[in-house]
Amino acid sequence: MRKRLFLQKLWFTLIKMAAWINSGALAVMVYFIVSRGWRAISWEFISQAPRESMTQGGILPCIVGTISLCLITILVALPIGVASAIYLNEYATQGKMVRLIRLGINNLAGVPSIVFGLFGLAFFCIVLNMGVSVAAGGLTLGIMTLPVIIGASEEALKTVPNTYREASLAMGATRWQTIRRIVLPMAFPGIITGSILGISRAAGETAPIMYTGAVFFTPDLPGSILDEVMALPYHIYVLATAGTNIEATRPLQYGTALVLILLILSMNLAAIIIRSKMRKKLRI
């Protein structure tokens, strides 16, 4: 009897510790970056371009660059991803074809990000002649994010009970009307949350954009989607490894990391707020 209770206590403690390690890792990381980076943050830092071989000045071009890349990623990945999920979950006859498409999606999810970068360089930059640009980088990130968005959207569509589809069809609605007016609104919070999480992941990627969209240094803000940009994650990499004076840029490096983390956390926070607002509206 004693032993059983002891074992229960032991296992619960271990399980609890495992859960706390998550939050612990995040807390340590955030502390590490905030403590080293907060001194670098100033109005100048977020409103000006780098100067003096990046040892002075700010990171405005990087912030604008990363946001532009994210916008293209959303424009590419959200419609295609949601449409694919609708096809797979709502419309397609489950069979060989669908299995093949799913196999493709799962494999796409497993491709290393540097390979996406090389593909983007070869295909978007060279074959489609986009050069190193926001468009090429955004498209590369978009393809990389597709499997995440398809997965999140499919999960969200699956949570809509079949009985709602049946009720709609039983009133003489077409399948498309049922998807458009009943299923999608109910799945929307899940789709949006999953998609934002996927895109915030993409915002922090370096490998896919280092050949396709981001450059070492450009003080100008992008004027069109065919311009090259600076980007936060790539800038961190540059400051940490390739600067002329690494010691002098170190505070800027942590400052940049802090800005990137804040950007991503605020996207995730937006996802959570949107989800809870919509859930309340739908009362589910």
Partner 1 sequence: MENNIKMHTRDLDFFYGKFQAIDHISLDFLEKRVTALIGPSGCGKSTYLRCLNRMNDLISGTRVKGNALLDDMDIYDPAIDVVNLRRRVGMVFQKPNPFPKSIFENIAYGLKVNGVRDKAKITQVVEKSLKQAAIWDEVKDRLNESALGLSGGQQQRLCIARALAVDPEVLLMDEPASALDPIATQKIEALITELSSKLTIIIVTHNMQQAARVSDRTAFFYMGKLIEVNDTDTLFTKPELKQTEDYITGRFG
With a CB cutoff of 8 Å and minimum separation 6, the contacts of 237 are 206, 210
Residue whose CB is less far from partner 1, 36 or 165: 165
Residue type, 233: P
Residue whose CB is less far from partner 1, 4 or 283: 283
Binding of partner 1 at residue 100 (CB under 8 A)?
Answer: no
DSSP-derived secondary structure for 209-220: HHTTTB-S---S
Instruction: Please give the Cα distance from 64 to 68 (Å, whole number).
Output: 6
Instruction: Please give the Cα distance from 81 to 90 (Å, whole number).
Output: 14
Binding of partner 1 at residue 168 (CB under 8 A)?
Answer: yes
Residue whose CB is less far from partner 1, 75 or 92: 92
Instruction: Please give the Cα distance from 188 to 191 (Å, whole number).
Output: 5
* Binding-site member from 36, 102, 165, 201 for partner 1 (CB under 8 A): 165
Residue whose CB is less far from partner 1, 93 or 241: 93
Let me know if 234 is exposed, middle or buried by CB neighbors in 10 A (0-12, 13-18, 19+).
buried
Options 77-85, 124-132, 177-185, 251-259: segment touching partner 1 (CB under 8 A):
177-185
Options 74-82, 113-121, 159-167, 240-248: segment touching partner 1 (CB under 8 A):
159-167
Binding of partner 1 at residue 181 (CB under 8 A)?
Answer: yes
Instruction: Please give the Cα distance from 87 to 84 (Å, whole number).
Output: 5
Binding of partner 1 at residue 166 (CB under 8 A)?
Answer: yes
Tell me if residue 229 falls in helix, strand or coil.
strand
Options 100-108, 137-145, 156-164, 200-208: segment touching partner 1 (CB under 8 A):
156-164
* Binding-site member from 22, 129, 163, 224 for partner 1 (CB under 8 A): 163
CB of 84 to partner 1, least distance (A): 19
* 191 φ/ψ angles, rounded to the nearest 5 degrees: -65, -45
* Binding-site member from 79, 112, 161, 219 for partner 1 (CB under 8 A): 161
CB contact at 8 A, 209 and 234: yes
Other C-beta atoms closer than 10 Å to the C-beta of 49 total 17
The size of the interface with partner 1 (CB under 8 A), counted in residues, is 23
* Binding-site member from 2, 19, 23, 93 for partner 1 (CB under 8 A): 93
Binding of partner 1 at residue 159 (CB under 8 A)?
Answer: no
Residues interacting with partner 1, by CB under 8 A? 93-94, 161-174, 177, 181-182, 186, 282-284
